[in-house]
A and B are shown apart, each in its own frame.
Chain A
Amino acid sequence: MPDLLIELFSEEIPARMQTRAADDLKKRVTDGLVEAGLTYAAAQGFSTPRRLTLALDGLLAESPTVREERKGPKVGAPDKAIEGFLRGAGLTRDALEERETPKGNVYFALIEKPGRPAAELIAEVLENTIRNFPWQKSMRWGAGSLRWVRPLHSILCILSDESGHEVVPMDVDGIQASDTTEGHRFMGSGRFAVTGFEDYEAKLKRDHVILNATERAEHIWHDATNMAFALGLEVVEDKGLLAEVSGLVEWPVVLMGDIAEDFLGLPPEVLQTSMKEHQKFFSVRNPKTNRIEKFVTVANRETSDNGATILAGNQKVLFARLSDAKFFWENDIRVAEAGAEAWLESLNNVTFHNKLGTQGDRIARFTALARELAPVVGADADVIGQAARFAKADLSSEMVYEFPELQGLMGRYYATTASLSDKVAAAAEEHYSPLGPSDDVPSAPVSVAVALADKLDTLTGFWAIDEKPTGSKDPFALRRAALGVIRLVQENDLRLPLDRYFDMQLLRHEAHQGEAVRENELNSLLEEIAEHGVFGAAFKTVQEKIEDMPSSWLFGLEDKVPDTSRDLLSFFHDRLKVYLRDEGVRHDVIDACIAMPGNDDLNLLVKRARALETFLRTEDGENLLQGFKRANNIVSQAEEKDGVEYSFGADVKHAEDHTEKALFAVLDEQENAISSAIEAEDFAAAMGGMAALRAPIDAFFEAVQVNADNDITRRNRLNLLSRIRKICLGVADLARVEG
């Protein structure tokens, strides 16, 4: 069975696209071949800056012959029907076979598709793959119309077995397949022919190309860490950078250079970011001082001076880059030393979003909210206010303008420079967190308050202007912000009734939008919400307090704000389901808990859901759920039939059976225990109480027929079941739980 080797040789492929492209080549070609009937034993894809390669072992030499039997019209059917059948089968009438069937004689067609040689199929599949390759971005070149990521220069495509190799004949837009390729652009020896994969890989290595990207990465990492180790230093690990650099070279040569003394005083993150972003350098750290003292660069070639010229050039470029960074840093320090007011001032002229005002507006809004969160996180409102006000100051700094990814971190340095407290400095950095599901969540109360306020302000803002995420579109990362709030609340065990904070912040946004805002109206409304927590009631109180006609703006909000607020809460509930699903809590269990009061308190909601999930996994839980459902069904059916509600009046004196009496006893015993456990938010205790109900309920259903002939007994029993229903529904809306 032959092996297949394909290489698509082009001008430099962007590093970030190479791995995916090698996978796509493998997938598309193998899928195409298998579909055409050519199976294979093993496939491997490779990429370098100038080539995508696919090696297939043990390919069938030709596709198998396929025989198909097709049932046609009855013998004697109209000619038209028979002709149509013949056309579809590609046969003439004399090739049809007549067979007896229970429905009479019927024509059958036996179609045989002969197998085709591998080369023919490969040429078709490869051409199709090249012409439809899923590049993120592709281009044309010269006068042709073929598209590739960069100009495609040659196609190597050979089939080889023990007897030798043959080129698969094919031509794509004038590029003819051959058995030749090139090695390194500068260190290679021109075009050469290969006979199979092993020969190909070996000759590439001879011509200074390491085909395997993993091998290049390992080589780089090995040499870099060794060089650093020899000097008592360590390379700062960066897998993304390593992968990228491996895609920039065919023949990696690792060089280590010095960072001039002038720059060692820059924050290590600045050095690291500048070197990585601009130069693709690795940072080398002194573990004793934690300073970045050297760099590693990876050249694409060996030279007669052992890289001296290359290193000198790189060092010079780095000098210029770091001079810029140092210039930014020194300018920024001057502003920070003066208290950073100039930055805050300039943020008043920077648009955050054209409907949500400037960065200055935004800061004022979330600072107000952050202060209100002081009792929630247990920190001083003035410190929180100071931290919130300063949190975005570094967005005006030169360093963050140059390196946006340093936002927050620079804020921390500059806050310290501005002699602000450590809490304020920490909040400047930490309030962006958590950025992703695996990012750490801040725990310092001031940072938590600012982080929550920033995210809640963003969410309520985009809800207020109706720019919610839809489908895959979430340009303002609102899902991430909501997940951030969920994690901040969860991991810091905070009690945060979201509804009232939504209302307050939505009002602030509305005030920004409203044309004629009366500040005193807004303030009294905010005060009422803070006091009563409920928008509707607060609103009415304010309306009554304001003696002259409230402005039309105020009127319009009565419906709008609560609706928007509810919609945002249900967005949070959806995010929460995703969050809890990852830890194994079922969505129907969460739904059962969302249906309970206080569902805007995410912490309460999650505690309830976790306790219920745990309980339902036990045998008691499972059976109790069945018991509840049975009780619920019986009572509901009876209520429907009788047109009355069975909700009160079960009396033990009408109990006949001993299981019935026992059920009364256990309900009397557990009802208060469960409701006070719920009251105390001790859901585990509540579930324990529920577990105690299970056996008596099971025994009751086992022994007793609810719909007894005696009407008094029947009603008493229905009322008893209704008690069970009420107790259960006080824990969670079990009717929503599946199973």
Chain B
Amino acid sequence: MAQYDSKPRSFQEIILRLQTYWAEKGCAMMQPYDMEVGAGTFHPATTLRSLGSKPWAAAYVQPSRRPTDGRYGENPNRLQHYYQYQVLIKPSPPHLQELYLGSLAAIGIDMDLHDIRFVEDDWESPTLGAWGLGWEVWCDGMEVSQFTYFQQVGGHDCHPVSGELTYGLERLAMYVLGVDHVMDMPFNDPQSPTALSYGDVFKQTEQEYSRWNFDVANTDVLLKHFEEAEAECETILAQEHVDPKTGKRIIMAHPAYDQCIKASHVFNLLDARGVISVTERQAYIGRVRALAKQCADAFVLTEAGGYAA
């Protein structure tokens, strides 16, 4: 892989190299999910597509939001908005670990100088009703990826099993580029006429969202949004499978899933505002999980979910 002999010079170059690498390995290059999510896993290209029997291979960047992690752009590693790189292959290929290590080499990590380790880390998403076994991958003691074999999603056993890789892009890039503060990281090529740092792109938005997330977001409105999204999700799924207008069998798993994800994100915002008590927390998580489960139930009845008429 001659083109990778040089070290990447910017955040975007690392993303581009990952894109190139996984495209070469046969993944469909998807684009981000156009909803607010907490992690790349919530993209329907992962959650829904990991269900059912049909083979699947996709990779994409997913902007992710974690309102509680907002630090007004001051903390060297913590952001309320960040990027994850996500790969999902179903069924998991036998040499997924080697494929993954190849991607680290592609972004300029020299396997002969670094200490790469697979350290037990089982993954569970209470809101998705999903779990899997795998590792966090350490490079010289730093967690650079999550590696998971999905066992269950939305309460359904995964058959076949998908292999999921999640890279925390900022952290990984900071390590590869040798940067200590995320805001100092070159976003594009530092030699380019308009060299931009990560801070040039995101410092202000971190401040704006931190303030909004923590102090301004109207919790009454958010609570209403939650109820509405929940109701809409259930309404969508309660429709008859055959569309009365076209006469076709159209189960609206994806529109329902959008509403489930909306509820999930609103819950995260409410959590960041500190208006959810410990006991209520469990109840909210349970409500989102119930929606996720219904969406999964619906998806497996669709063609993409492996349904054969």
Contact = CB atoms under 8 A, between A and B. Distances in A.
Given A151-B149, A153-B94, A313 B161 contact: no
Nearest to A323: B76
6 contacts: A12-B120, A248-B117, A279-B141, A309-B114, A320-B76, A351-B278
B277 interface: yes
Contacts of B160: 142-144
Interface in A1-55: 11-12, 14-16, 49
- With most chain A CB atoms within 10 A of its CB, the pick from B135, B141, B163 is B141
A323 B74 CA distance: 13
Contact of B94 (A142, A304, A313, A320): A142
A310 B97 contact: no
A143 B149 CA distance: 12
Interface of B: 76-77, 91-94, 97, 110-120, 122, 132-135, 139-142, 149, 151, 158-161, 163, 175, 180, 277-279
A314 B143 CA distance: 11
A137 B116 contact: no
Contacts, number: 103
A711 B120 CA distance: 85
B117 A318 contact: no
Contact of B132 (A11, A139, A143, A317): A139
Given A142-B91, A142-B94, A351-B279, A313 B142 contact: yes
The 3 closest A-B pairs by CB, nearest first: A313-B140, A14-B120, A12-B118
Contacts of A311: 140
Given A150-B133, A297-B141, A314-B140, A140 B118 contact: no
Interface of A is mostly: loop
A140 B149 CA distance: 8
Nearest to B157: A140
Given A49-B118, A299-B115, A318-B141, 13 more contacts: A11-B118, A139-B149, A140-B158, A142-B94, A150-B134, A248-B117, A300-B115, A309-B110, A310-B140, A313-B139, A314-B141, A320-B76, A323-B76
Interface of A: 11-12, 14-16, 49, 137-144, 149-151, 153, 186, 248-249, 279, 297, 299-301, 303-305, 309-314, 316-318, 320, 323, 349-351, 354
A141 B117 contact: no
B277 A351 contact: yes
A137 to B, nearest CB: 6
Nearest to A320: B77
Contacts of B116: 186
Nearest to A305: B113
Nearest to A50: B118
Nearest to B120: A14
Contacts of A151: 92, 94, 149
A300 B116 CA distance: 8
Nearest to B89: A142
Contacts of B142: 313-314, 316-317
A320 B168 CA distance: 16
- With most chain B CB atoms within 10 A of its CB, the pick from A14, A49, A297, A305 is A14
B276 to A, nearest CB: 12
Contact of B93 (A14, A142, A153, A320): A142
B133 A310 contact: no
- With most chain B CB atoms within 10 A of its CB, the pick from A15, A311, A314 is A314
- With most chain A CB atoms within 10 A of its CB, the pick from B118, B120, B279 is B120
Nearest to A257: B141
A150 B118 CA distance: 11
Contact of A142 (B92, B134, B278): B92
B30 to A, nearest CB: 22
A139 B111 contact: no
Contact of B113 (A11, A139, A303): A303
Contacts of B133: 137-139, 149-150
A12 B149 CA distance: 13
A673 B142 CA distance: 75
Contact of A313 (B93, B97, B122, B141): B141
A143 B91 contact: yes
Nearest to A298: B115
A351 to B, nearest CB: 5
A142 B55 CA distance: 10
Contacts of B132: 139
A649 to B, nearest CB: 69
B28 to A, nearest CB: 19
B135 A139 contact: no
B120 A310 contact: no
B175 A313 contact: yes
A139 B120 contact: no
Given A303-B112, A313-B141, A12 B135 contact: yes
A350 B279 CA distance: 10
Contact of B277 (A153, A303, A349): A349
Contacts of B175: 313, 316
B82 to A, nearest CB: 15
A493 B18 CA distance: 68
Nearest to B110: A309
Given A317-B142, A320-B77, A141 B115 contact: no
